[in-house]
């Protein structure tokens, strides 16, 4: 069953990425972000540090070898009776030397096994955390880029609308000057233009803010988005999978779930480590040493010794420390298990939310596409009616405004679809590097 699920997940990943790919701007920006984003650089260093957990834990299984040496000067005075009450003082001056080689090999240490298992899960947790930080970078980059893109598209639509409103204002002024128009049409045209100029200032400020966020991520202070004319695309990049299938993929691939699962296993190893404190230990100690002039009575004597010692220790009572440590580790394990449950449930909620957004935005995009087409026909029909004297300039202004709003909503909905798609795939753990090229292919 597990193999079948894994195969299904792999097929899903291939299916999601098997879209027309073109190496474009967003994919290039991702390479820059990998080099320059400080949060990602921090994650790389944390991951490199975590890779040392296993070598440190593995070292506990190997023997420890130490070399010792000492050299000194000793001046000793001996005052002792010789015969009757006659005493004699003798000065001894010698230079003691000591050299030793010691090897200690753990034979039975349950704590070392527990530490090794704990290091293994800590390494796995670090790898999953790094995958999560990488996904966060992808999400931050995609969101910053797409938000900047839609704000740039909004500015361009406003510029186009501004040209149209200025032309309509001039037309209204000419009609009024020639006696065919009304002052109401001139005032309405001027009011719409002033309102649009106000929106232009707001749109420019928003675009600069979004661009500043993007520049910080990619480390390019002078970067500017050049292309804002993104094409129509069919909103089917989510693969048209069911909600249950997305949840299943997330359970198998989410780096956040993998990290939390590793934390639970690491906490379990910590319990084993606490239990090991109640277990006996057995070590083998081998030593070779050489002493020269070890004392005034051994002046000129060289002592060479070789020893092999089995050291056994069984803890009986340590003031309640080990018992308290065990209770603490079991509580930490329970906390980790509950946190895993909370993360799993939270992930389900996130998947449901973004999946619902994606599905609803598909319908919204299709409706707005029809709305744009309808409003384009309405603008043409209204313009002809104005020329024929049947409709007023205000009617044409209203038609143009509705067309502008429909185009803007369509652009925003397309970007919102891509944003929700990115978050959906990030939560599911299947957003590949090549998906940036997929987004480029959809946009341009």
pLDDT 10s digits, 337-379:
999 999 999 999 999 999 999 999 999 999 999 999 999 999 9
Q: For the residues 163-171, what does the mean pLDDT come to?
A: 87
Per-residue tokens: 53 = 């957990």
- Return the closest-CA partner of residue 431 out of 231, 250, 251, 216: 250
- Return the closest-CA partner of residue 383 out of 392, 373, 370, 374: 392
Most confident of 248-252, 312-316, 438-442: 248-252
Count up the domains in the chain and report the number: 1
User: Which residues are CB-contacts of 18 (< 8 A; sequence separation ≥ 6)?
Assistant: none
What is the reported pTM? 0.79
pLDDT of the residue at 36: 92
With beta carbons less than 8 A apart as the criterion, state whether 422 and 431 touch. yes
**How crowded is residue 290: how many other Cβ atoms within 10 Å of its Cβ?**
14
Q: For the residues 20-35, what does the mean pLDDT come to?
A: 75
Residue 176 is assigned to a structural domain of this protein: yes
Residue 89 predicted with pLDDT over 70 = yes
Give the domain CATH number at 24: 1.20.1600.10
pLDDT of the residue at 6: 45
Residue 325 is assigned to a structural domain of this protein: yes
Average pLDDT, the chain: 86
With beta carbons less than 8 A apart as the criterion, state whether 127 and 78 touch. no
Q: For the residues 267-291, what does the mean pLDDT come to?
A: 90
pLDDT of the residue at 249: 92
pLDDT of the residue at 78: 76
Report CA-CA distances (Å) from 434 to 29, 130, 147, 231.
Answer: 13, 19, 20, 20
Residue 100 is assigned to a structural domain of this protein: no
pLDDT of the residue at 299: 67
Higher model confidence: residue 22 or residue 381? 381
pLDDT of the residue at 441: 81
**How crowded is residue 215: how many other Cβ atoms within 10 Å of its Cβ?**
17
- DSSP per residue over 114-142, as a string? HHHHHHHHHHHHHHHHHHHHHHHHHHHHH
Q: For the residues 46-62, what does the mean pLDDT come to?
A: 93
What is the per-residue burial (b if ≥16 Cβ within 10 Å, else e) of 392-423? Answer: bbbbbbbbbbbbbbbbbbbbbbbbbbbbbbbb
Range of the domain at 207: 2-36+109-279+315-443
Residue 15 predicted with pLDDT over 60 = no
- Return the closest-CA partner of residue 113 out of 261, 267, 265, 270: 270
Q: For the residues 75-80, what does the mean pLDDT come to?
A: 76
Angle of the 321-387 helix axis to the 243-253 helix axis, nearest 10: 140
Determine which of 24-28, 29-33, 185-189 has the lowest per-residue pLDDT on average: 24-28
Q: For the residues 163-183, what does the mean pLDDT come to?
A: 85
Residue 135 is assigned to a structural domain of this protein: yes
Residue 63 is assigned to a structural domain of this protein: no
Residue 124 is assigned to a structural domain of this protein: yes
Q: For the residues 167-182, what does the mean pLDDT come to?
A: 84
297-326 pLDDT, tens digit per residue, is 666 778 889 999 999 998 888 778 888 989
Q: For the residues 393-402, what does the mean pLDDT come to?
A: 86
Round to whole Å and give the CA distance between 335 and 412.
42
Q: For the residues 228-251, what does the mean pLDDT come to?
A: 80
Round to whole Å and give the CA distance between 221 and 251.
39
**How crowded is residue 440: how many other Cβ atoms within 10 Å of its Cβ?**
21
273-283 pLDDT, tens digit per residue, is 888 888 899 99
> Percentage of the chain surpassing pLDDT 70?
92
Determine which of 150-154, 166-170, 296-300 has the lowest per-residue pLDDT on average: 296-300
Residue 91 predicted with pLDDT over 50 = yes
Residue 21 predicted with pLDDT over 60 = no
With beta carbons less than 8 A apart as the criterion, state whether 288 and 100 touch. yes
pLDDT-based confidence at 18, cuts 50/70/90?
very low
pLDDT of the residue at 204: 92
With beta carbons less than 8 A apart as the criterion, state whether 77 and 161 touch. no
Residue 432 is assigned to a structural domain of this protein: yes
Residue 156 predicted with pLDDT over 70 = yes
pLDDT of the residue at 229: 67
Determine which of 35-39, 182-186, 244-248, 253-257 has the lowest per-residue pLDDT on average: 182-186
pLDDT-based confidence at 386, cuts 50/70/90?
confident
- 152 by DSSP, 3-state: which? helix
The order of strands in the sheet holding 97-108 is 64-71, 97-108, 281-292, 302-313
- DSSP per residue over 291-309, as a string? EES-SGGGTT-EEEEEEEE
Q: For the residues 41-70, what does the mean pLDDT come to?
A: 93
Residue 72 is assigned to a structural domain of this protein: no
pLDDT of the residue at 224: 86
Residue 48 predicted with pLDDT over 80 = yes
């Amino acid at each position: 069953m597990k193999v079948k699920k894994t195969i299904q997940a792999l097929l899903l990943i291939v299916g999601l990425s098997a879209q027309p790919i073109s190496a474009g701007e967003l994919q290039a920006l991702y390479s820059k972000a990998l080099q320059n984003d400080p949060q990602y650089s921090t994650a790389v260093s944390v991951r490199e540090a975590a890779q040392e957990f296993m070598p440190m834990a593995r070292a506990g299984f190997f023997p420890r070898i130490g070399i010792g040496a000492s050299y000194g000067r000793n001046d000793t005075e001996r005052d002792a009776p010789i015969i009757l009450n006659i005493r004699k003082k003798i000065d001894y001056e010698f230079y003691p030397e000591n050299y030793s080689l010691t090897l200690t090999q753990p034979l039975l240490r349950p704590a070392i096994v527990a530490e090794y298992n704990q290091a293994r899960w800590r390494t796995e947790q670090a790898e999953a955390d790094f995958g999560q930080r990488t996904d966060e970078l992808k999400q931050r980059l995609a969101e910053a880029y797409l938000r900047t893109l839609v704000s740039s598209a909004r500015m361009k639509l406003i510029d186009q609308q501004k040209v149209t409103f200025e032309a309509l204002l001039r037309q209204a002024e000419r009609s009024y000057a020639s006696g065919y128009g009304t002052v109401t049409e001139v005032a309405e045209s001027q009011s719409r233009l002033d309102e649009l100029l106000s929106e232009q200032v707001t749109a420019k400020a928003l675009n600069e803010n979004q661009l500043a966020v993007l520049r910080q991520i990619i480390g390019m202070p002078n970067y500017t988005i050049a292309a804002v004319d993104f094409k129509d695309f069919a909103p089917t990049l989510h693969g048209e999978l069911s909600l249950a299938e997305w949840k299943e993929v997330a359970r198998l691939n989410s780096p956040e779930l993998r990290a939390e699962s590793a934390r639970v296993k690491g906490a379990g190893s910590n319990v084993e480590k606490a239990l090991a404190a109640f277990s006996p230990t057995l070590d083998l100690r081998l030593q070779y040493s050489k002493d020269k002039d070890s004392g005034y009575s051994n002046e000129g004597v060289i002592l060479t010794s070789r020893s092999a010692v089995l050291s056994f220790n069984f803890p009986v009572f340590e003031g309640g420390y080990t018992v308290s440590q065990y209770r603490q580790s079991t509580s930490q394990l329970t906390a980790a298990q509950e946190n895993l449950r909370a993360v799993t449930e939270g992930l389900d909620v996130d998947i449901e939310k973004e999946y619902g957004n994606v599905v609803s935005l598909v319908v919204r995009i299709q409706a707005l596409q029809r709305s744009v087409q309808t409003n384009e026909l309405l603008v043409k029909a209204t313009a002809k009616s104005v020329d024929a004297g049947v409709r007023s300039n205000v009617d044409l202004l209203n038609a143009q405004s509705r067309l502008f709003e429909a185009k803007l909503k369509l652009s925003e909905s397309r970007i919102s679809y891509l944003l929700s798609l990115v978050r959906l795939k990030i939560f599911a753990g299947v957003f590949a590097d090549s998906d940036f090229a997929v987004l480029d292919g959809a946009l341009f």
